[in-house]
């Protein structure tokens, strides 16, 4: 499990959620086990279920939606959808100034000869007009 510096807080949050999930699953399994071996609880559950099933169905639907949204957000899909326009324009300008990354693929360019670069992915050619600065 690789933890990058930028995602430490998310990882700790994920850890917390994971621990809660384990606890919840354990409790649910324990309740289910009790339900299987306790006839009184079976009767109680069947009468209770007939009363609360609409609410439980709606709650389960909401839960699935929230979990799906959080998963998408953690994977960065929503952030990408929201932030794409301004960031891609800014990145494009930055890449033009110091062209060592393909503006189309965001991958490092391979130096073919002095002043000529090629993208490893899309095979586009680029000229680096900037003089090389030796540090
Ligand atoms: Zn490319």
52-59: long-range pairs with CB below 8 Å, 24+: none
Distance 108 CA to ligand 1 centre (A): 9
Distance 120 CA to ligand 1 centre (A): 7
C-beta of residue 126 within 8 angstroms of C-beta of residue 109:
yes
Distance 84 CA to ligand 1 centre (A): 18
What are the residues whose beta carbons fall under 8 Å from the beta carbon of 133, sequence distance 6 or more? none
Q: What is the pTM of this model?
A: 0.31
Helix pair angle (77-97, 39-74), 10° resolution: 20
d(CA 99, CA 116): 11
Distance 73 CA to ligand 1 centre (A): 27
Distance 62 CA to ligand 1 centre (A): 41
**What's the token pair of residue 29?**
């399994």
d(CA 88, CA 27): 46
For residue range 99-117, list pLDDT tens digits in order.
788 888 988 888 888 878 8
**What's the token pair of residue 132?**
């090389």
Distance 119 CA to ligand 1 centre (A): 5
For residue range 10-56, list pLDDT tens digits in order.
688 888 899 999 999 999 999 999 989 998 988 988 898 888 888 99
């Amino acid at each position: 499990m690789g933890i990058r510096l930028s995602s430490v807080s998310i990882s700790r949050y994920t850890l917390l959620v994971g621990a809660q999930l384990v606890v919840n699953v354990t409790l649910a399994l324990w309740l289910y086990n009790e339900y299987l071996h306790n006839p009184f609880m079976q009767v109680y559950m069947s009468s209770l279920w007939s009363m609360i099933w609409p609410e439980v169905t709606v709650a389960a639907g909401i839960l699935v939606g929230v979990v799906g949204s959080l998963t998408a957000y953690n994977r960065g899909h929503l952030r990408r959808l929201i932030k794409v326009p301004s960031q891609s324009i800014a990145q494009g300008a930055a890449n033009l100034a110091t062209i060592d990354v393909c503006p189309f693929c965001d991958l490092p360019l391979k130096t073919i000869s002095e002043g000529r670069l090629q993208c490893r992915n899309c095979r586009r050619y680029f000229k680096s007009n900037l003089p090389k600065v030796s540090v």
